[in-house]
Amino acid sequence: MKMLSRWMGGLAVLLAGVGGVVAAEPTVAVANLEQIFKEHQQLKIVIAQINAQTAQETEERKQAVAKLEQMQAELRPLTAAAQNPALTESERTQRSAQAEAKLREARIKEVRIMRGDEATRRQLATRLQDLRKQYFAEIQEQIRAYAAEHHLALVLDSSSLAAQSGVGGVLHADPQLDITAAIITRVNKLPPPAAAVPQK
């Protein structure tokens, strides 16, 4: 009987210890980084500004292409006139010189458009990469602060991009471990940075 009561007492202590572990706050959490980026209000404003600037640059490019097409259209009759046997040699020479000048002008314009396209692509890629780094650092700082406040030892990224990269990502997470909404709330309370959009 004494042995049974000792055993029951030991079991009670063991269950109490297990109960304490179960009741303790989890030390692991997940956050969907892509969702945080998508719902980051200041980042949305900055992306909208970049989109507006890109739309303006696209319109300027359309105007440059239209000018190039006009130059090419003007070049065709000059080229034809330079080869017209009905004209005098002097007239053909004059038309040929005009055609060559127009062709040079058109080629310069075409090269400028191509270089502009490449520069715009590079600048946009750099700006987006810089923004992602800037806002990732901000989000990471908020995750660290939240983790310290809530005694979390580990926070995993549960976004779909982690799974697409081939490393597996988070295959399952209990919804109560997800701190995404809390982090979104925190980052959206932060004041906007002084220079949100780097200028060209």
Q: pLDDT category, 84, cuts 50, 70, 90?
A: confident
pLDDT at 174: 79
Is the pLDDT at 196 greater than 90? The verdict is no
Q: pLDDT category, 177, cuts 50, 70, 90?
A: confident
**Mean pLDDT to the nearest integer, 150-166:** 77
For 173-200, letters b (16+ CB in 10 Å) and e give eeeebbbbeebbebbeeeeeeeeebeee
Retrieve residue 105's tokens.
């002008």
Contacts of 105 (CB under 8 A, 6+ apart): 71
CA 81 to chain centre: 52
pTM across the whole model? 0.66
Least confident span in 5-14, 38-47, 72-81, 128-137: 5-14
